[in-house]
Amino acid sequence: MSGEPQPSGVIVGVDGSSASRAAVDWAARDAALRGRPLTVVHVAPTETAAAWIDVPVTEEYWAAREKRCHDILAEAMSVVTDALGPDASVNVEQRLLFDSAVPALVAMSKDADLLVVGCRGLGSLARMLLGSVSRGLIHHAHCPVAVIHDDDPPTELPARAPVVVGIDGSPASVSAIEIAFDEASRRGVDVVAVHVCSDDNDDLIDVGWKDLETIGAEVLSEQLAGWQERCPDVHVRKVVARTSPARWIIEQSDAAQLIVVGSHGRGGFAGMLLGSVSNSVVQAARVPVIVARQV
């Protein structure tokens, strides 16, 4: 696929699972809000189980396999049509690739605005919180990755439910802030900016809380400086907490429609692929999460 032009706009990976269908629905709506094209991609593995046990693979098998791939794409395109409605002007394409899913989608992400996947696919155990493909993409993609959960949201969310963004003062959170304001502005909703002073999860820490609170408020003010001027339509609510950042972000998201986090935070070293906070949020959230990749 190296010779093929790479799509821009929003790319969504599909595999026929319920999480995949939720991802397609969300991706279509987000592409419409962005006014950007949507590419629906199904990646079929190049190896089969029969190859491992040296069993001949018949032409009928390959034909049935390819039909299944096209059926998955057709089902996804039907979800797109339902999500966009009859008057949508989004340019929608579909692609079928025979490759390993993570490398193929990572390659496509180089020119994409956003890569969207379900939290787990057909191969995931029922109780697994994050599938191998979604996990691989939030570690290696070249663009922001939205992970969509197929669970019911925690409550019946109002149409104007806010966007929650985790801010820790790191370079990764700068990208998260930009994404959060863009998404909130397109949706006409507020931003809830969450800063937690310590990555520690010890709730007994109470030494110098007033000082920490003051410092936390200063971090939020510095990180948000200029964004309210760029997006005057977006109202910001600031939340400063003491410890347990993942827990606070998840609690704030109970009444939100979207979470945005950085790929790694202030505790992450340069080569770290995904921070503990962002990993915990992606695992535990019941609403869509965008991971702002740092590459």
Instruction: Answer yes or no: do 189 and 103 share one domain.
Output: no
Q: For residues 136 and 205, state if they share a domain.
A: no
Strand, helix or coil at 250?
helix
Whether residue 5 is contained in a domain is answered as no
* 271 and 177 share one domain: yes
Q: What is the pLDDT of residue 269?
A: 37
Are 261 and 168 contained in the same domain?
Answer: yes
Residue 200's nearest CA partner among 166, 167, 244, 247 is 244
Q: Is residue 230 part of a domain?
A: yes
Residue 156 included in any domain: no
Q: Where are the beta strands (DSSP E) in the chain?
A: 10-13, 38-44, 92-98, 114-118, 145-148, 163-166, 191-196, 236-241, 258-262, 289-292
* Residue whose structure tokens are 């590459």: 295
Final residue of a structural domain among 93, 119, 148: 148
For the segment 260-273, the average pLDDT, to the nearest whole number, is 56
The pLDDT value recorded for residue 127 is 41
Whether residues 52 and 168 fall in one domain: no
> CA end-to-end span of the chain, whole Å?
22
| Structure confidence at residue 246 as a pLDDT band (50, 70, 90) | confident
- The range of the structural domain enclosing residue 40 comes to 10-148
Structural domain includes residue 66: yes
Residue 4 falls inside a structural domain: no
Is pLDDT of 169 > 70? yes
Q: Do 205 and 132 belong to one domain?
A: no
Give the model's pLDDT for residue 249.
92
Residue 157 within a domain:
no
Name which residue leads in pLDDT, 7 or 177. 177
Q: Which among 3, 288, 6, 44 has a CA at the least distance from the CA of 141?
A: 6
Q: Which of 109-113, 155-159, 275-279 has the lowest mean pLDDT?
A: 155-159
Q: What confidence tens digit (pLDDT) does each residue in 135-168 have?
A: 889 889 999 999 998 766 555 667 789 999 999 8
The Cα–Cα gap between 251 and 166 comes to 12
> Above 60 in pLDDT, residue 123?
no
When divided into structural domains, the chain yields a total of: 2
**At which residue do the structure tokens 């409550």 appear?**
155
Q: Which of 122, 148, 174 is the last residue of a domain?
A: 148
Q: How many helices (H) and strands (E) does the chain have?
A: 10, 10
**How far apart are the C-alpha atoms of 30 and 147, rounded to whole Å?**
13
Whole-prediction pTM: 0.86
Q: What is the CATH number of the domain that holds 15?
A: 3.40.50.12370
Among 115, 148, 181, the domain boundary falls at: 148
